[in-house]
Structures are given as structure tokens and as C-alpha cells.
Structure 1
């Protein structure tokens, strides 16, 4: 029943102009900010701790982030129209970098985060001519997961469920075929992650991109989709993060993940209204880390990257 309601709402949104759904998202975002106190307060507290700003300043930024998130959700439901409108809402910066690395046929790991409408990032890359595979975390609501997977397939993104037994195998095959493999690396990675300072506090960080960079010598290319002032999006692509092999695998993977985390942190600092501040990024504390943890290719299978 919920799936049918989502499909109906999506069909309704697809009858509107893009500007109209942004206006609707703006209204819904304001309502969400005022109604959902638990998430709002968590986000404000987190921002004040990370940015050392006043409560008033933090609330203003978080309010804008709620608006942006609401617009993101509506844009995801707008994806059938995105295909029809030939992706006219997405532009690129640094596309030549990705084309150069992709042409080497070693596969490319895309490093990104929950910034902007991240579902449109994969869609934009497909439209630009790349074969894209993504490991997607199932949503708590299976009906929403079903719709998401349907819309991802609609725009040409290959999806594998994160946490399934075939996860590592699917990622391996994608890179061996020279495809793009997307990692959202800004979520809590549990006791098996790398504990690194992020936005002013140490937290468990996913090591997936570092693992694949080492195992397959695949370039790790940062790419983030940023909403512009006119409501359109720009996909910003940067030079690859280079894996330095010193012979100490554990230290090398940790160093790579630290540099990767800094790239994500810089994007959030540059675009604070476009990140999800209320997510439980700092849930796993350093004292919960696995004892005698060695960050090798074999052990990192337990690390979950969204």
C-alpha cells in the first residue's frame, strides 16, 4: 500500500515543474524543522560542537539543511521526469578527470557523501556515459527501498544490496569490469572502522575506498553533487586520492582513509546546509573499537559503507 502511495505521489510530482517541487520542498523543510524536534536538536548541537557557532547561527544553517533535505527527497521521487528531461538540471566540473581515469579500465572508486541529492550523482554519471555500480543500504522501510531501487534502475544504475553475502563479490566484479563503484563514506562504520577525527570529534570511519584502492589499484576519485543557487546541481570532480604503499598495510589504509575523510570534511565545511547533520555519525566511540584490529583486505569485509 505504501509503495502505491509513493508511486502516486511521485507521478504527481512528475507533473510539476522542477521549480515547483523545489518550492514545495522549501515549505515541507520548514515544517519538518519545526515539527521534528529530536532530529533538529541533535543537528543543532552537532553543528555548534563542530563549528563553534552560536545556537542562533546553528539553527539558521540547520533550518536550511532541512529545506535542502526535503528538496532532495522530492527530487528522488522526481527521477522518472529526470530521465525524460535529459538530465538538464545537472552540470559537471572536472569531468575530464573522471574520463581520464575511467579510460584506464581499472575501475574507478567514487568517493562521495550524503551531500546534495546524492541519488542524482549516480544518475548524472550514467548520463555522462559511465557504467555505474552502487552498493546501497536498504532503507528501514522495504517499500521505500523497492521504489528507490526501481528508480535507480530506471536511470541506468546497477544496484547491489549492502550487507548481502554477495556485496564484496559484486564490488569486485564491478571494478574488474572497469565500472565506476560508488561509496558514500560519511556514516558510522561500527567497531571495525578506522577511528579518525571528523568535524571536531573522533568517530568510526568506513575504509571501503582505501581497501579497493589497494587491492585493485583503482583510482579513488572524489565527486560531490552540490545544489546551486538556481536550484540546479553541479557535480564537482577532483583529482584522485593516491594510495601510498609503504609496505605497512594497516598504516597505509589508515592514512588513506584519513585523507579521504578530510576531503569529505572540507566539502561539508564549504556547503554546511547540504549535509545531513542529524545522522548518528558519531555513534561508535573509540573505546568500542575492535581489539587488535588490523585493517587488511580480508578483515574489512565487516566494514559497512553506505
Structure 2
């Protein structure tokens, strides 16, 4: 009788220990705890996820893709933080996320699936353009413009021709600037530049690809302007009008070409100056605009313009 009683108590202890371990394991029998308290916020290009760690976790693998993707076929990364910011997403697009706790090199938790998170609609729908200027063998200046209204910031990612977007080097302009200098480039080398505009913080349009091969060049002028200094185009000898522009580098001179039709190409009516401005008299009303180009030794830039009065 004593032996049966001892056997009964031993069996009871084994059962209790087994039940106790099972309460601390996940669905796969692992003691690596699953993340919990998952929340998120979304902009037009970024989704931010917050979560609480599970028992024993010290890092996390996050995998994401378009909603409905098969786990293992998405984009993934590892972080030690209990939050993650996933950028460069398409606007008005729905994504799924899998968050897996990592306890050791051999033990992971059951993934937490966050389903159907949709980015907001972008208000940044215009087109981005860029001009390249080079006056140093290893440095290129980028001048950006945007067709869709106000601009908060520009961003560029660049690398050798054919590089995959997301694997290059990124730089942003200051919020007040529309230009950026890229340094430490290799001379006479082809590069791809992906450029996008932020219309407000967190709301960019899509990247647009441009290509450029480095090599010293004669930079094309920019920021063309014209204004009346005195007189009037329809009175007496006409008006005296000022013309101005900006340029990169140190061209020896500039040539401007006056035009009488807004659709005209540069004409033979030209003036040359060593300054970034010139005043021209006897400007009658038949003159409608001008082009300007830089002259650098034995070569000249492309014509910039037209600037229409």
C-alpha cells in the first residue's frame, strides 16, 4: 500500500511539472514568447509598428509585403527595438507584416501577423526634375524642380549605373534648398540618380530615375530673369532692360540671344558679357524673351531658356 501511495504522488508531481512547462510554451512548444500589444500608424510612404516583447526575446525579425504575400517571400530585417519604421512604401497600398521574436540562434517565437495595413493617399502628385552641373572632376551639383506646387524637401539616392534602389547612398536637401552637391564621385563614370520630392514631411512622390556620366563640363546657366530698368517699350527709343542669371563654375563669358516670338529658338541677335547680368537699351515691344549660354574656353554650354518677358 505504501509503494502504491508513493507511486501516486510521484506521478502527480510529474504531471504538475509538465503542465507548468506547457503554460509557458507557445503553439509550437517553444518557450520563446510571442510579441503582443501590437499597434501601428501610417503615412503615405511609412508604416510605424509598436509592440511588446514576449518572454525571453531579445530581437525581432520583421517581414512585410503586399497583402496576401506568402511568409518567406517578403522583405525582411532584424531589429532589437520594440518598434519599427518601414519606409519607401507605395501610397494607398495595403501591406501584411509578420513579427517574429528571436530568443537565441536556435529558438524563435511563433510569428505575429499584422494584416491589411494601408498607407495613406499621397498629396504629392507632381513631377520631379533635376539638372546636373559639374565644375569639379569628382563633384556634381544637382538643381531640382517640382511641377506640383509647394516643396518641403528633395531626396536623392545614387550609385553606379544599374544599382538596385535601396542599395545606394541617400542624401536630402535642407528644407529651404532646391540644390545639392554630391561629392567623392569617380571621374568619367556613369551613375544612376533616383530623385523624389517631399511635399510635406512624410509625404513624398515616387522616385524618378535619372542618369549622368561624370566629366568636367561647361555648366548651363539657371535662374534666368529680366526686368525694365527705365523707359517703356512703346515710347521713344524703347526701354532699357536688365537681364540676369546664375551659373555654376567660372565661365569666361556668357552669350544672350533675344527672340521676337515666344516659340523661337536662339537667334543671331546676340550680346556677350563677362558678367552674370547685362543691360540692353532700345528694347522695343517686339522683343519677347531671351536665351543665355555659358562660354568656357573652347566650348559652350547648352542654351538656357527661353525666359519670356
Same fold (TM over 0.5): no
Q: Using structure 2 for the length normalisation, give the TM-score.
A: 0.22
Q: Using structure 1 for the length normalisation, give the TM-score.
A: 0.22
Q: Over alpha carbons, which structure has the higher Rg?
A: 2
Structure with more strand by fraction: 2
Structure with more helix by fraction: 1
Larger RCO of the pair (alpha carbons < 8 Å, separation 6+):
1
